[in-house]
Structures are given as C-alpha cells and as structure tokens.
Amino acid sequence: MSDLQIGLISLGIVLIVVVLLFNWWQDWRVRRSMQKQFPEGEHDVLMNGAGTRKEPALWAPKAAAADEAVEIDPSCEAVIDIVFGHAVPGQELSDAVRSITRVGKKPVRVFAGSDQGGHRAVPQAGEHYISLQLAVVIANRSGALTAIEWSHLWTLAQNLAERFDGVIEAPDQEELLARARDLDARCAAMDAQVGLIVQLGTPKSHRQIADIATEVGFLEHDGQLAWMAENGLPRFVMQFDTLADGQGDEAVHRVDLVLDVPNSVPDDQAFSRMAAVGQDLATRLGAHLLDDQGRGLPDGATQTIDRQISDMYDQLDQAGFLAGTERAARVFS
C-alpha cells in the first residue's frame, strides 16, 4: 500500500471522528438546553393538576429575549411537547405554526422554546428554537375535550415533528379525556349568566339606544357596549334584539343586560348594580325593566340574587377560577 493510500485512509478516519464528535457535541448542547428549560421532577403537575408550571421565561439567563407572560396553565390545559432534532429558524417556525389556533372548539396556544432560553408565544425572525409546546384547553363552554379534538392536535404535532425531525411527548389520551370530563362537570356547576330585559314600548334605532346608553355610562368594549369596572373589565354587557321594520332597516324593540358571572368582576352587589343601571336606562328609553323571564322584579329580589351570585364568586375562587381572570376566561368561553 502506497504512502498516498495510507494518507487518504488516515484522513478519512480523522474526518469520520470529527463528524462523530461534532454530532455528539450538538446532541449534548441540545440536551443541556432542554434540561435547563424542563427540569425533571418527581411527578407531572400537568396530569396531577397540582402546583403551577412556571415557564423558563420567568428565570432564564436571557429572559429579556422571551415573552415574560408566557405560561402554560396546568389546571385547564393539556400539552404536547415537541423537541426538534436541530435548531429551527424563527421565521420558518412562525410560518409553520401560524394557523394553529384551535382544534374543534378548543383554543390552542403555542410556546416556542428558544435555543438561548425562554419561550415565545410567537416565534421571532432572527432567533432559533429547539422545542415547541402545543397547549389546548381541555374544557370550555363547548364541553370537554373530545377524542377527535385531541387527535386533531396530535396530527398537527406529528406533522411538525416530521418537518423538523422532532420527538413528541404527550399525556395518555384516556387519562387526559377523563380529566377533561371531570373539569367540565365541575365548571358547569359554577357557570351562570344572569340577565335583565329592557322592553321598549316603541322600537328605536340602534344608534338612538347606543347614544342614550353612552350618556348613562356604557363604554365600547370588544365590539359591545359594556358597564365597566374600575380595573377595565366589564361588569355586564348590553345586547340588542332587533326587528325588521319592513323597509330593510332594523329597529330595536328590546335590550338585554347580561352579567356573565365567571367573566365579570367579583362584586357583592353585582345584580343590584345592574338593576339600578337598567332602571335608569329604561326610564330614559320609556321602557320597562323585566327579569330574564319577562316578568317585573319583585321587592327584595335584587338582594336575594346578589347573595346567590356572591356565593358563586366564592365557589369559583375556591376552585381556582377567580372570576374575571384569564384562567376563568379560558374555561368559561
């Protein structure tokens, strides 16, 4: 064997060793980064429903590069984790997950893990990501998470894993669906919407009523007129019941005031407050204030309903779904 052949063989061996070492180093770097972001514990708080899962954005060395408010809610969300085989450019990942917002009637949130630590709700161009989490609400007003909805999310996760050479980890489906049914049953017992009717004697235009409602103190909020609390959340909202006038226009013959208990601000006089505003509005509109069954409000009814609503606020708080919070909105929507 010539010196040239020996030299070429030696060079080939060296190159193979270099490639193996480089691959080992890349794998070690990814694993180290993942361990920093997902430290192992004695149990899975997502399945046990205990404790609070804090995302690395709150403490990672480069937390300034991540969304500080990004956090999975283990009380009402299930998570599929995807660990990529290589760091994925932010723009490419953003394009891949842009359409993932819900499965069936359940909203889905995306958490992209940066190779520099921390998480993003929206992957950023110029950054690279080594993991992804898909968090789906397991129960809301449409009911418990179904096998079809979970299967849809699993398919989305598989497509992403195949595209980015990733590995998937997810909770057991049967246990998850049982937990979803349990949450749905518990929250259904605490869900309530209380209404009042402002029945107009003569139909009026939407604009006329909106102007008077604004004079009373209603404000625009998410496309509706709402009576706002001091913290900027609605106490109750106004809904219009329209009637065609025969000329192609719509006239309002009834206005509903709706207090969505889990999504309102806790208040010991929640119904009394709405009734007082409703009476003022009815007087200005020349209308009658009725309960949600179309009957007049008997004496003492507002105080009784106030106590019932206050009890519901307490139940929600004790169950971990304080009314008016983001967590309550996830389940009661």
Q: Is residue 69 scored above 70 in pLDDT?
A: no
Q: What is the mean pLDDT of residues 164-188?
A: 97
User: Residue 111 to residues 53, 67, 80, 92, 326: CA-CA distances in angstroms?
Assistant: 13, 10, 10, 15, 17
The radius of gyration of the chain's CA atoms, rounded to the nearest angstrom, is 28
197, 290 contact by CB (below 8 A)? yes
* 276 and 177 within one domain: no
The 10s digit of each residue's pLDDT in 243-281 is 544 444 578 999 999 999 999 999 999 999 999 999 999
Q: Which residues pair with 224 in a beta bridge?
A: 221
The whole-model pTM stands at 0.73
Q: In Å, how far from its chain's centre is CA 310?
A: 25
User: For residue 13, what pLDDT is reported?
Assistant: 73
Query: Any idea which of 10-14, 22-26, 214-218 has the lowest mean pLDDT?
Result: 22-26
The verdict on 51 and 183 lying in the same domain is: yes
- pLDDT grade for 15, boundaries at 50, 70 and 90: low
Mark whether 200 and 307 lie in a shared domain. yes
Q: Is residue 286 part of a domain?
A: yes
When divided into structural domains, the chain yields a total of: 2
Say if 129 falls within a structural domain. Answer: yes
Percent of the chain's residues with pLDDT above 90: 71
Asked whether residue 158 falls in the same domain as residue 201, the answer is: no
Residue 238 shares a structural domain with residue 278:
yes
Question: Are residues 206 and 238 in contact, defined by beta-carbon separation less than 8 angstroms?
Answer: no
Tell me the DSSP string of 161-203: HHHTT-EEE---HHHHHHHHHHHHHHHHTT--EEEEEEEEEEE
217-247 pLDDT, tens digit per residue, is 999 999 999 999 998 999 999 998 765 444 4
Shared-domain flag, residues 220 and 259: yes
Q: Is residue 157 domain-shared with residue 262, that is, in the same domain?
A: no
Residue 26 domain-assigned? no
As a 3-state breakdown, the chain gives helix, strand, coil percent values, each rounded to 5, of: 40, 25, 30
Do 108 and 87 belong to one domain? yes
Buried b (16+ CB within 10 A) or exposed e, 290-323: bbeeeeebeeeebeebbeebbebbeebeebebeb
Residues linked to residue 242 through DSSP beta bridges, in sequence order: 252
In a domain, residue 21? The reply is no
Joined together, the tokens standing for residue 332 give: 């009661």
Residue 56 has what DSSP assignment? G
* pLDDT of res. 295: 94
Distance CA 88, CA 131 (A): 9
Residue 248's Cβ-count burial label (10 Å; 0-12, 13-18, 19+) is exposed
- In the chain, the percentage of residues whose pLDDT exceeds 70 is 77
Find all residues with CB under 8 Å of 207, minimum gap 6, and list them. Answer: none
Rounded mean pLDDT, 130-154: 98
Residue tagged 């009523």 (tokens): 209
109 three-class SS: strand
The whole-number pLDDT of residue 241 equals 77
Q: Is residue 143 a part of any domain in this protein?
A: yes
Domain end call among 188, 221, 236: 188
276-333 per-position pLDDT tens digit? 999 999 999 999 999 999 999 988 899 999 999 999 999 999 999 999 999 999 999 9
Name the amino acid, one letter, at 324: G
- Asked if the structure places residue 284 within a domain, the reply is yes
pLDDT averaged over the chain? 84
Write out the DSSP string of 283-314.
HHHTEEEEETTS-PPPTTHHHHHHHHHHHHHH
CATH (domain of 90): 3.30.1400
Residue at 221 is within a domain: yes
Same domain, 325 and 216: yes
- The neighbouring-strand residues paired with 260 are 193
Rounded CA-CA distance 11/265 in Å is 73
Same domain membership, residue 161 and residue 201: no
Residue 84 near residue 130 (C-beta atoms within 8 A):
yes
Q: Per-residue pLDDT averaged across 13-19, rounded?
A: 63
Mean pLDDT across 65-87: 84
pLDDT category at 60 given cuts 50, 70, 90 is very low
At 146, is the secondary structure helix, strand, or coil? coil
Confidence at 49, pLDDT banded by 50, 70, 90? very low
For residues 199-218, average pLDDT: 94
Which of 146, 163, 188 is the endpoint of a domain? 188
Please give the residue that has the higher pLDDT: either 17 or 254.
Answer: 254
Report which of residues 8 and 203 the model is more confident about: 203
| 168 shares its domain with 207 | no
What is the residue range of 141's domain? 45-188
Q: Give CA–CA dist 58/273, Å, rounded.
A: 39
Both 288 and 178 in a single domain?
no
Q: Is residue 29 part of a domain?
A: no
Domain boundary among 161, 188, 215: 188
* φ/ψ of residue 297, rounded to 5: -80, 120
CA 130 – CA 315 distance, rounded (Å): 41
